[in-house]
Amino acid sequence: MNQGSRDAHTAELSAELEAKLLVRLVEEWESINATFFWHALRKPVFQLSDTRERLGQWNGELRSLEISRALVLEHPWVEVVEVLKHEVAHQFVDECLHAEETAHGPAFQRVCERLGIDARASGRPSAPATDDPAGRTIDRIRKLLALAQSPNQHEAELAAMTARRLMLKLNLEVEQAAGPAERRRYGFRHLGRPSGRIFEHDRRLASILSKYFFVQSLWIPVYRPREGKRGTVLEICGLEANLLMAEHVHAFLSATATRLWSEYASSSRQGSNRDRQAFLAGVMRGFDAKLEAQSRQFQEQGLVWVPTAELQGYFRRRYPRIQTVHRSGARRNDAYSEGHRAGQEIVLSQPVAAGPSGQAPKALRGASKR
């Protein structure tokens, strides 16, 4: 992005939207203070800065917490919250621990580690390590998923199932190889665009990732500062190799379900939004049933994986308070039945079509690439 387009993209918000943004930042701070620091902190003065040299800053002398406008307007809200957590951790170390150390000294690192806060300043998920031994396995999985595009149905199904088995074996081997004191590199990703509503097919897709692809998932609230509106986005947590795979599956299924609906709507002349939601929910349920049947075969072969205590611990450190909400699903009509049938026939492979947003979905990459 050149300077001109970047400045245009970071155009000032109206006074009303900026006021709403500051209110939202205060609300996020209050939530962080309650969830991670047990209401131990006093509210600081909040400021928006125009600097690009830093994304956020805690100033103990002025008791001010500064967030960059460029961060808020050019990056996803989840990154804003990660930076805010980082700065609130600085506030806690300064005002509660009274630690006399450098900005990112031992006390700060311990606080971030204990509470699952990103100790870096960027707020973005960590880049994969170039020496990750899972990289070669991920490359093999990528090649298998490419083979799953074969027009020969038997070959395609075999390649896709082999890729799943290889991923399962990778996770079991990682658990067996790691000693009790070894700390694994867990991280997080945010999938899809923030949305005002979560439909049944969204929830089913999130469930598929958690049940079959070795990650924990959670819908988290976000804010859309240019619109002054709230939204929700999906976060997944896990090992880097599993995050890459789950990210790929999310992109692939989102694009495939949308394509299948377009084909069904064109052939059946059923174009209502209600039918669309029912069809998409059916697709996800059908694909879930297919993966469940494969998992039973894996279990018969002695390949069984359950979320590790370490992964659950990392997830709970990031989100100590989780609320489960039950919502009604889409209608069970002909569109749902047809979607269910179509979902059972999906063969997991490389994305070959544009995603729901019109952008090409991300392909699975090797762990040493970014």
**Are 43 and 184 within one domain?**
no
Q: Are residues 63 and 160 in the same domain?
A: no
DSSP 368: T
Residue of 163, 305, 323 lying closest to 239 (CA atoms):
305
Q: How confident is the model at residue 151 (pLDDT cuts 50, 70, 90)?
A: confident
* Confidence check: pLDDT of 129 > 70: no
Residue 135 pLDDT greater than 60, yes or no: yes
Residues 360, 352: Cα–Cα separation, whole Å: 8
Does residue 366 lie within any of the structural domains? Answer: no
Does residue 317 form part of some domain? Answer: yes
CB atoms within 10 A of CB 338: 22
Assigned domain for 123 exists? no
First to last CA, the chain: 18
Residue 291 confidence class, pLDDT cut points 50, 70, 90: very high
Lowest mean pLDDT among 24-33, 123-132, 232-241: 123-132
Q: Is residue 76 part of a domain?
A: yes
One domain, residues 196 and 307? yes
Q: Are residues 250 and 155 in the same domain?
A: yes
Domain of 50, in residue numbers:
3-115
Q: Which CATH number covers residue 22?
A: 3.30.2010.10
The continuous run of DSSP H or E covering 268 comes out as helix 240-268
Give pLDDT, residue 103: 83
Strand segments (E) across the chain = 45-49, 56-59, 64-68, 186-195, 216-224, 229-239
Residue 365 covered by a domain: no
- Cα separation, 250 vs 203, in Å, equals 12
* Higher-pLDDT residue of 83, 353: 83
174-187 pLDDT, tens digit per residue, is 777 665 545 567 88
Q: How far is CA 356 from CA 158, 182, 265, 301, in A?
A: 28, 40, 16, 37
- Check residues 317 and 30 and name the one with the higher pLDDT: 30
Per-residue confidence (pLDDT) for residue 321, from 0 to 100: 81
Whether pTM exceeds 0.75: yes
184 and 44, same structural domain?
A: no
Residue 71 has pLDDT above 90, yes or no: yes
pLDDT tens digits, 88-104: 999 999 999 998 888 88
Cα separation, 179 vs 86, in Å, equals: 30
Token representation of residue 276 = 């669309």
Residues forming beta bridges with residue 162, ordered by sequence position: none
- Is residue 129 in some structural domain? no
- Residue with the larger pLDDT of the pair 173 and 249: 249
Percent of the chain with pLDDT over 90: 56
**244 and 328 co-located in one domain:** yes
Q: Is 166 within the bounds of a domain?
A: yes
- The widest CA-to-CA distance across the chain, in whole angstroms, is 70
- The residue count of the chain comes to 370
Residues 79 and 179 placed together within one structural domain of the fold: no
Whether residue 334 is found in the same domain as residue 211: yes
∠ Cα 269 272 276 (to 5°): 95
104-113, 183-192, 339-348, range with the lowest pLDDT: 183-192
Highest mean pLDDT among 69-73, 99-103, 136-140, 307-311: 69-73
- Whether 111 is in a domain gets the answer yes
- By C-alpha distance, which of 220, 216, 219 is closest to 239? 216
What would the pLDDT profile of 249-271 be if each residue is shown by its tens digit?
A: 999 999 999 999 999 999 988 88
Query: What is the per-residue pLDDT for 11?
Result: 56
Lowest pLDDT segment from 73-87, 284-298, 303-317: 303-317
Residues 229 and 285 in one domain: yes
Number of separate domains in the chain: 2
**Residue 227 pLDDT > 80:** yes
Residue-averaged pLDDT of the chain: 84
In this structure, is the dihedral angle defined by the CA atoms of residues 207, 211, 212 and 215, taken in order, positive or negative? positive
Tell me if 172 sits within 8 A of 305, measured CB to CB.
Answer: yes
Pair (281, 154) in one structural domain = yes
Same domain, 248 and 191: yes
- Find the helix or strand (DSSP H, E) in which 154 lies: helix 153-177
Backbone angles phi, psi at 191, to 5 degrees: -110, 135
